Amino acid sequence: MIELTWTYFFQIINLLILYLVLRRYLYKPVNDFIARRREHTEGLLKEAQESFNRAKQLQEQAEAQLNEARREAQALIEQAVETGKAMAAEIAERARAEEAARRERLEQEMEEAKNRAIQELRQEIADLSVKVAEKILEQNLNPKAHVQLIESVLERMDDIYVN
């Protein structure tokens, strides 16, 4: 059996004292250090999670801004295309109007040239007719009467051939 002697008793007291000393100077500071380390680690994890959430939020905002910028750019492109089409239509319309005005001006010039040519021909025909009539009749008729005679003949010719 076990004999209880003073040495066992002192060993138990030594163990208790050692336990109390270790608890006071080793376990408690180590546990405090571990608790502080745990709190520090949890704080870092919280900060990391908050930073992650903020970064995610910033990323979402940046994506939203990018999408908005893309929509605005697309709208600007569409507006520029519409403006370009409108300008092209306006230029084409202006060109058509200028062409029509030029064509009308040419037609007027042609009509004026035709009228001048007709007038010149009438004058030449009248002059030739007077000369021919003078030579045929070999008499001096009144030039005014000749001109009236020729003009009436020319008017009849105009009515017949022109109209």
Mean pLDDT of the chain: 85
Q: Please tell me the predicted confidence (pLDDT) of residue 161.
A: 61
Q: Please tell me the predicted confidence (pLDDT) of residue 136.
A: 61
What confidence tens digit (pLDDT) does each residue in 65-123 have? Answer: 999 999 999 999 999 999 999 999 999 999 999 999 999 999 999 999 988 888 887 78
pLDDT at 25 over 80: yes
Calpha distance 143→133 (Å, rounded): 11
Distance from the Cα of residue 49 to its chain's centroid:
44
- Residue 162 pLDDT level (bands cut at 50, 70, 90): low
Give the residue extent of every domain in the chain: 10-162
Lowest-pLDDT range of 18-32, 65-79, 137-151: 137-151
Calpha distance 41→38 (Å, rounded): 5
Q: What is the mean pLDDT of residues 15-24?
A: 90
Two structure tokens written together for 79: 């507006």
Calpha distance 79→86 (Å, rounded): 10
The model scores a pTM over 0.95? no
**N-terminal to C-terminal alpha carbon distance within the chain:** 161
